[in-house]
Structure 1
Amino acid sequence: MARVAGELEQGHPDYFRTFAPPKGPHRRSAVLMLFGPGADGEEVVLTERSAHLRSHPGQVSFPGGSLERGDVTAADGALREAHEEVGIDPAGVDVALQLPDIFLSPSQHAVTPVLAWWPIPGEVRAADPIEVARAAKVRVAELVDPDRRFTVTHPSGYRGPGFEVEGLFVWGFTAMVLSTLLDVAGLAPPWDESVERELPERLGRPWSRR
């Protein structure tokens, strides 16, 4: 995390520059990129959205959501949402830094990824089953395994990084932020971007370019 902070001080990676929010007011959201130690190495918390949601049903995401009036900072909102969605106690989380905002044009949201460390991880669960079908702690070693990485394609012309870990198909905004973070942290070995997998139909409607 110190390396990520140092790299960001030198300038934002291309992804953050490309999708920086345009000028003007936007709806604000935040997601919690929560890492912690596990029995077999570091892990990150991911969720699978409920299949019944109108927005991005079944997609893999970080815990998070829209900021509310009582959220003083994006980190406050990300921690609150993580508690509501997957039962994480904010008191046990150390916030490292807020990454640059990313603009999701389909939803017109400016999203702040909040990078954090969980020194003594607890269990995660679908605390809000209306929004979350599953919560999981995924090993970073699996995410950086080149055999688990590929380029996601869609008939619309979309192309972006993807992962398949723990039965989760990770793509879009979540995969792009993870991919960028792992690269900036110097954790990801080279992987074959020519390996393509089409976005599963169950995840393709509605879909987002992030």
Structure 2
Amino acid sequence: MDEKTRDSLSAALNRAGRSAEAGLVKEDGTRLTTLPAPFLRTWRIIEVSNRQNAHPVLFYVGAGAGQAYLLTGDPAAFGKVTTADGSRVADTATAERLARLYLETTRDTGRLTYVVGGVNEIRFRPGITGEDAERRNAVIARYRPTIAPPQARAADGGFTVTAYTVREQELRRHTLTVTAAGAVRDKAETLVDDLPVPYTL
């Protein structure tokens, strides 16, 4: 992104009381990436990352109309973005994309968390044996028919989306209610709490 965009995002974060994040946006080596969000009309969701920093930086911001909301660790901020934008969610494909982006951008980036679309996307520790290998195989056998990419169905004028994530050692199923205006409510259930996977960044 050009320097004007970088400056405006930093200024908007400062106005929102996010001075630390505003400073990180301006740091050398910080990369700003606009994420695809077809439900947004004028606002954008931006990934802010800097792997050259002594402590690697990764967070997500919703920005538009001179305003900015820090999404990382604050699911309620996502709804503020869609409300300010006047978003419309008209079909299941858009609802699925919105749900995935909601899960990816509002997660606590201090905890290893990612969306999975199948058991092959669970990052099991390599070379495991014994009880850990048995547990891995049992999880694969049990959830191979179940886990899929986010799937939406129309419901009550909006959509219900089912999605799966791994958070540290937990396999979780999310049931997300997505309204036609892009508001989200997430109900998460832990399916497995002892996956043999790395749980640190």
**Same fold by TM (over 0.5)?**
no
- Structure having greater relative contact order (Cα 8 Å, sep ≥ 6): 1
Structure index of larger Rg: 2
TM-score where L is the length of structure 1: 0.29
